[in-house]
Amino acid sequence: MKKMLPWLITILLAITLIVVAAFLLMDKIFPSDASDVNAAVQNVEAKKLSADEIVELSSEITDIKTNLADPDYIVLINFAFQLDSVSAKEDFEKIKDLKIKPLLIKTLADTKPEELNGANGKDQLSSKLVNLINKTLTEGKLTQVEVTNFIMTSI
């Protein structure tokens, strides 16, 4: 038994070190989606714009009606999109019915009603949409998404 004691202590120490290392590296190996979305949105620079500049760089998509992930709930929602340049807005206007609107509907179809409750839920949706739409844009960047009208009801 005395000869096995150093081996047991070494094995237990090795297992403990492996578990501690795995715990410390878990966030780097498996990052959470919410932190990625928030970090990407914070990377987008917010500039102070005049009212005329905001109107010039903004576009709207209205009257999106679709089911949510829970088929007992439907949502009627309007969005306002602010882009970083006039040329980006022109490109956005060209593809908004073909690419952006279906992307919005798919995103809402994967969203549970509880995820849209409160201001935090709408902010999370806006952050998610900024990241998804920026991947779709050919020129410029989407800087902000605002929910301008929101009605959610059960069927």
Q: pLDDT-based confidence at 42, cuts 50/70/90?
A: low
Q: Which of 19-28, 48-57, 74-83, 135-144 has the highest mean pLDDT?
A: 74-83
Measure the CA–CA gap between 99 and 101, rounded to whole angstroms. Answer: 6
Q: Which of 5-14, 21-30, 69-78, 107-116 has the lowest mean pLDDT?
A: 21-30
How high is the pLDDT of residue 105? 94
Bigger pLDDT: 73 vs 47: 73
For residues 107-114, give the mean pLDDT: 92
For residues 72-86, give the mean pLDDT: 93
Would you list the DSSP string of 15-37? HHHHHHHHHHHHHHHS--HHHHH
Domain boundaries in the chain? 1-30, 39-154
Q: How many residues does the chain have?
A: 155
CATH of 39-154, one of 3.30.479.30, 3.30.43.10, 3.30.160.270, 3.40.190.80: 3.30.479.30
